[in-house]
Amino acid sequence: MKSVRVEQQDLVIRVVLSRPDVRNAFDGETIADLTDVFRKIADGRIGTGARVVQLVGEGGSFCAGADLNYMKSMAGFSREENALDAERLFAMFETVRSCPLPVIAHVHGHAMGGGVGLTACADIALAESGTKFAFSEVRLGIIPAVISPFVLSRMNPGWARRWMMTGEVFDADQAFAAGLVSFVGTSDQVVAEKARLVKVFCEVGPEAVRETKMLIRDVVGRDPLDVQERVTEAIADRRVSAEGQEGLRAFLEKRDPSFRRGVKV
């Protein structure tokens, strides 16, 4: 793959957007490659035994949205071709969001349009101070439709409403206040926070993390009574699971559980 690079060190998978000459903007190849990578992570063909995924952009920006030449090609698409293209784009975002491993995004430089969507799809997004964000679609006479469900499940809807309709540029501190990112700092501080989170994910039960991620997806925004069976069955299953039993025994015996792993960061 030319547009996406995958690296693994110990328990960490690094997925690198690798088109720095165009600020890692999407084209059809990038969409296909990123979808393929995250599908392979999900089914274990990439990163066997890994605990966490880092999503980063090579060069000066995280992701500047759609590539100019890609946008030119779309201008000539029929409605049916545009619908198929949008389906492929949606699938890319969904494969990132539904990755069974926790995904940490390191956002820097620019995150525009689809780059904001990728940020929202990560479980944890860390942004460097000075990063610029924008829903730039309306400035081109189009709309942030495909990314909207991913963004609105993450951001404060009031802020998202404003920025989606105005196309204004907003900064990392505003993105933090709106809930799009959970940490803002210098490049070194983001790297240090990323390393700290990797260490945390290597100390907790990997199956429990996966199940928790699915649980959050099923429960968020729903009335507690509507999910009563889901949550009670989930905890019962985990308590009798091998990992759950090992964790409880380790706690009672005042020792580290077998799933706790050291990792070089």
Q: Beta partners for 8?
A: 13
Contact 50, 100 (CB under 8 A): no
This prediction has a pTM of: 0.95
Distance CA 222, CA 110 (A): 34
What confidence category does residue 261 fall into, taking pLDDT thresholds of 50, 70 and 90? confident
Residue intervals of the chain classified under CATH 3.90.226.10 are 4-200
Contact 215, 231 (CB under 8 A): yes
* Topology of domain 4-200, CATH: 2-enoyl-CoA Hydratase; Chain A, domain 1 (3.90.226)
Distance CA 58, CA 193 (A): 19
Quote the percentage of the chain above a pLDDT of 70: 99
10 Å CB burial of residue 136 (0-12, 13-18, 19+) is buried
Pair of tokens at residue 215:
């649980």
pLDDT digit string, tens, across residues 70-101:
888 887 889 999 999 999 999 999 999 999 99
* pLDDT at residue 262 in the model: 72
* pLDDT at residue 263 in the model: 58
Mean pLDDT calculated for residue range 216-243: 97
